Amino acid sequence: MDQIDINKTPPTRAFLEKHIHAARFLDFVSTRSPVFKDRPLPKSKQEAIDLMMENPNLIKRPILIRGSKVTFGFDRDAYMVSEREGGAGGAKHPGKK
């Protein structure tokens, strides 16, 4: 499994646009971040992505990529499946081909 520090090499805007669902955009934001003590939560997918591009710490982590499936945040079931199938098996950096 490859691990990439998203603060040093953040996901691309295209990756975030593709994988963040408009109706559930707050599910992809680390809403407990201290940033939101001084400002309100984003009100749209576009605002959320703009904030994530400025501050990658706002992206819910980790990001697991297995084939075409992408999981933001820790999801025990997704990680168990990945482990049973031999690790990330082709996990790559978000947005890189």
CA–CA separation, 53 and 1 (whole Å): 24
Considering the chain, what percentage of its residues have pLDDT values greater than 70?
A: 79
Whether residue 84 has pLDDT greater than 50:
yes
User: pLDDT per residue over 4-32, tens digit each?
Assistant: 888 889 999 999 999 999 999 999 999 99
Whether residue 69 has pLDDT greater than 90:
no
pLDDT at 50: 97
CA–CA separation, 17 and 28 (whole Å): 11
Q: What is the dihedral of CA 85, 86, 87, 88, to 10 degrees?
A: -60
pLDDT at 95: 55
The answer to whether 90 touches 1, Cβ cutoff 8 Å, is no
